[in-house]
Structure 1
């Protein structure tokens, strides 16, 4: 599954660039809680994306070998999202809840955009 790891590495770079932009926004604007929420959500999203990639890779290997696979980590992704919400509700003066939710969706948005760009390159 080298293609999966290539896609993950490319998407990881995009997410890290977004994190850098969010940190700059936190440092240079008056909307600190919004950018801190985006940063926390995107960091958790990157963690969830990494775990999902790892589990999909193991899933593919198990299918090839004819073994059973437990799950793709839905519980751990839900727990990471719940952890983010707990942090935001514990410190509402520092974090913005809607920004956290948008940050949690960042990896999925990056995956969709990367898919459209890569399919556009293949078709040309």
Structure 2
């Protein structure tokens, strides 16, 4: 599983880079609600990525030991996404709903880009 952890660390760095860009955008532009929505969505997306990595590691360990595994935490990840959308609907002036949803998808976009970059560099 060391490769699995290094992949997560690399993806986490990319997401932190995006979050820092979003914070700069929030601080220095007039599109504060859009960038705040991106910050909220991306933060919860990073949390969801961390959750799935942790649950996958536990799942792999349980399979090796021959134990049963309850779930991979789908309900928890859906609940965090629902929380973000509910916050955006409750505070529409502060949080832009579309940017919150886009922020929630950020980890999946980062995973795909990371996969293509790694497969490109491994072919060389």
Same fold (TM over 0.5): yes
Match of 1:96 in 2: 96
How far the C-alpha of 1:14 sits from its partner, in A, is 0.3
Offset at residue 66 of structure 1 (A): 1.3
1:40 partnered with 2:72:
no
Query: 1:80-114 deviations in whole A, cap 9, x for unaligned?
Result: 00110111111111000000000000000000100
Cα RMSD, aligned residues only = 0.6
Give SS of 2:24's match: helix
**Which residue is equivalent to 1:6?**
6
Secondary structure in 2 aligned to 1:35?
Answer: helix
- Could you state the TM-score of these two structures normalised by the residue count of structure 2? 0.98
Question: Could you say which residue in structure 2 is the equivalent of 1:74?
Answer: 74
List runs of 5+ in structure 2 lacking aligned partners.
Answer: none
TM-score (norm: length of structure 1):
0.98
Structure 1 unaligned spans of 5+: none
State the number of aligned residues: 124
Q: Runs (4+) of structure 1 moved beyond 3 Å?
A: none
Asked whether 1:53 is paired with 2:53, we answer yes
